[in-house]
């Protein structure tokens, strides 16, 4: 009977399972899917599908010999393993239009080191790694530093508490953390450049990207590391323009070896800042300097940021952090309690972990609040106190609503398609749905008028103001309409609970 790809891969998995930890097995091998099995060059070639490029890097770096011996065992001495990597989005800049790459597993020893196999998917490796050397070399080959001029010392602006040691690993952040660690150990030298970490608020993005900074700083004393929020970057750029110091600004950034920019979604709608960042990005990337970014959503969902910049975000690796699962929440609470030297019952921690589910910042906040109340009123921290103190937090811990969710609910209510509220249509029912959705976006999210406008097909902020005003007026004069709005508000609330 002929062997199928599934059977062959199952057999491989049996071997692998015996050779790696359960956790590694789950993280690195379970997500792979067998794609095909073919006769080639007197042997069988098995192709497996990888969820992202990151898996390729990781498997090659950590499991190369295991995979090789496994494949030989299952497919025979001429057996080969191929990887299929699906790329999320077309990258116009690099001309990579394929949705899938077929990569032979790297041959040992005689294959040149480095990441030549990636050359068709990203800018030429030579270009990327040109000046990256060991720690002491950091910045020396930077062409923007005029020889003889001393490198400016930059304050890294890192919070020293945000370290890997203090970052609890869980299913929700495993990939992101592994990538962050790999980058820290070899900044600019992995193919994860830029590294974009994305996910909702309070899930550890700032902590993790700063952990990279702290690690690199500790291990590369000669290198310069800079952490800035995109708001700081923008403000400083504006100030540089006002004081005629744009070239100083630009020169300073080009000297950084590891540039970390937090919350890049705030670049939305700020064209000038984006342009400046674009040039800095290119200069750093070309010199093999590491760039680390965070955003509150996936790059494809970031509105109001130029396509050429978004496409660069795809050059390296995007990884997400998700809401923590129960075990991780417990581990974080345990860690926090022990760090602060607090003795607190397991049942209390479980109560907190069960009730505050979406966000680590709130989880920490809940614990602190609980302890503060206990101390302040000199009461034992028991379940009663926990229930009392966390009553409002428990109901607050819903994930914040997004403009997209609002559009979905409103469009369903009025039975118009979501595309239409983002398009130019002036049909009455569409206009009404659009105005209602804009009103909720203003009331329920913290987005600026400009951002809201962008989510509705790039409309002006004055259109948003007008929409909100018109909904308020109608609510005042028309009771039935007010009920409609209340009903929608209720649905939005249910959806995001």
202 binds, among ligand ADP, Mg ion, none (CB under 5 to 8 A by kind): ligand ADP
Least distance from ligand ADP to the Cβ atom of residue 10, Å: 34
Binding piece for ligand ADP, criterion CB under 6 A, among 63-71, 106-114, 339-347, 356-364: 356-364
Least distance to ligand ADP, CB of residue 360, Å:
4
Instruction: Select 89 or 361, whichever has its Cβ closest to ligand ADP.
Output: 361
**Alpha helix (H) residue ranges in 289-417:** 307-313, 326-339, 346-355, 360-376, 383-396, 403-414
Both tokens assigned to 428: 């009455």
Cα gap 451→72, rounded to integer Å = 55
Tell me which residue of 201, 202, 211 sits closest to 176, measured CA to CA: 211
Rounded Cα gap, residues 218 and 185, in angstroms? 11
Name the residue nearer to Mg ion (CB basis): 125 or 365: 365
Q: Which does 410 bind (CB under 5 to 8 A by kind): Mg ion, ligand ADP, none?
A: none
Closest to 208 measured CA to CA, from 187, 234, 183: 183
How far is the C-alpha of 282 from the C-alpha of 289, rounded, in Å? 10
Q: Say which entry of Mg ion, ligand ADP, none residue 173 contacts (CB below 5 to 8 A, set by partner kind).
A: ligand ADP
Minimum distance from residue 445 beta carbon to Mg ion (Å): 17
Run of H or E residues at 217: helix 205-219
Question: Considering beta carbons, is residue 47 or 318 the nearer one to ligand ADP?
Answer: 318
Report the alpha-carbon distance of residue 373 to residue 421 in Å, rounded. Answer: 48
Nearer to Mg ion, 400 or 457 (CB): 400
Q: Is 206 in the site for ligand ADP (CB under 6 A)?
A: yes
CB of 283 to Mg ion, least distance (A): 26
CA distance 364 to 351: 13
Does 201 bind ligand ADP (CB under 6 A)? Our answer is: yes
| Sign of the Cα pseudo-torsion (279, 281, 287, 289, in order) | positive
Using CB under 6 A as the binding criterion, the count of chain residues that bind ligand ADP stands at 15
Task: Indicate whether 273 belongs to the interface with ligand ADP (CB under 6 A).
Answer: no
* Residue 168 C-beta: closest distance to ligand ADP, Å: 4
Residue 415: name the closest of 439, 435, 433, 438 by CA: 433
To ligand ADP, the closest distance from the beta carbon of 266 in angstroms equals 13
By CB under 6 A, is residue 332 in contact with ligand ADP?
yes
Using CA atoms, how far apart are residues 6 and 46, in angstroms rounded to an integer? 10
For ligand ADP, the nearest residue by Cβ is 204
Report the relative pairing of strands 43-50 and 33-40 from DSSP bridges.
antiparallel
Nearest distance, CB of residue 323 and ligand ADP, angstroms: 11
DSSP 399: P
* CB nearer Mg ion, residue 139 or residue 202: 202
| Per-residue mark of binding to ligand ADP, 144-183 (x: CB under 6 A) | ----------------------xxx----x----------
- Contact between 364 and ligand ADP by CB under 6 A: the answer reads yes
Give the CA angle between residues 321, 326, 330 to the nearest 5°. Answer: 100
Give me the least distance between CB of 198 and ligand ADP, in Å please: 9
- Among residues 139, 187, 189, 204, which is the contact residue for ligand ADP, using CB under 6 A? 204
Give the strands of the sheet with 80-86, arranged side by side.
Answer: 33-40, 43-50, 80-86, 100-104
Residues that bind Mg ion (CB under 5 A): 205-206
User: Given the rule CB under 6 A, which residues bind ligand ADP?
Assistant: 166-168, 173, 201-207, 332, 360-361, 364
């Amino acid at each position: 009977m002929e062997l199928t790809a599934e059977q062959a891969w199952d057999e491989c998995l049996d071997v692998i399972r015996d050779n790696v930890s359960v956790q590694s097995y789950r993280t690195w091998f379970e997500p792979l899917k067998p794609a095909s099995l073919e006769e080639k060059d007197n042997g069988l070639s098995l192709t497996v599908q990888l969820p992202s490029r990151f898996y390729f890097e990781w498997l090659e770096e950590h499991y190369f010999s295991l995979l090789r011996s496994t494949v030989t065992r299952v497919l025979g001495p001429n057996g080969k393993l191929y990887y299929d990597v699906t790329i999320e989005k077309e990258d116009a800049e690099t001309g990579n239009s394929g949705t899938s790459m077929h990569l032979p597993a790297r041959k040992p020893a005689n294959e040149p080191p480095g990441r030549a196999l990636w050359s068709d998917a990203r800018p030429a490796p030579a270009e990327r790694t040109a000046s990256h050397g060991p720690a002491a070399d950091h910045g020396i080959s930077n062409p923007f530093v005029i020889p003889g001029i001393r490198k400016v010392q930059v304050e890294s602006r890192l919070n020293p508490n945000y370290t890997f040691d203090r970052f609890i690993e869980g299913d929700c952040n495993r990939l992101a953390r592994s990538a962050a660690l790999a980058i820290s150990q070899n900044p600019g030298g992995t193919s994860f450049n830029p590294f974009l970490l994305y996910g909702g608020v309070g899930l550890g993005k700032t902590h993790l990207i700063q952990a990279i900074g702290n690690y690199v700083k500790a291990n590369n004393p000669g290198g310069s590391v800079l952490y800035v929020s995109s708001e700081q970057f923008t403000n400083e750029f504006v100030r540089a323009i006002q004081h005629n110091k744009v070239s100083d600004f630009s020169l300073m950034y080009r000297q950084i070896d590891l540039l970390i920019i937090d919350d890049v979604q705030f670049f939305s709608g700020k064209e000038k800042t984006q342009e400046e960042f674009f040039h800095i990005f290119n200069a750093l990337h070309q010199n093999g300097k590491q760039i680390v970014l965070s955003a509150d959503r996936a790059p494809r969902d970031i509105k109001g940021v130029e396509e050429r910049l978004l496409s660069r975000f795809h050059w390296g690796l995007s990884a997400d952090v998700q809401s923590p699962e129960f075990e991780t929440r417990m581990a974080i609470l345990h860690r926090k309690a022990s760090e602060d030297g607090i003795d607190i019952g397991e049942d209390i921690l479980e109560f907190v972990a069960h009730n505050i589910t979406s966000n680590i910042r709130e989880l920490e906040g809940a614990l602190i609040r609980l302890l503060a109340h206990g101390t302040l009123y000199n009461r034992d921290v028991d379940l009663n106190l926990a229930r009392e103190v966390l009553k409002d937090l428990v109901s607050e811990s819903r994930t914040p609503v997004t403009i997209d969710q609002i559009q979905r609910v409103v469009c369903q209510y009025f039975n118009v398609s979501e595309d239409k509220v983002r398009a130019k249509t002036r049909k009455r029912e569409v206009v009404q749905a659009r105005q209602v959705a804009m009103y909720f976006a203003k009331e329920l999210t913290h987005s600026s008028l400009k951002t809201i406008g962008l989510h509705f097909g790039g409309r002006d902020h004055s259109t948003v103001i007008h929409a909100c005003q018109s909904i308020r007026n109608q609510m005042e004069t028309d009771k039935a309409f007010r009920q409609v709005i209340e009903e929608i508000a209720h649905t939005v609330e249910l959806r995001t609970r």
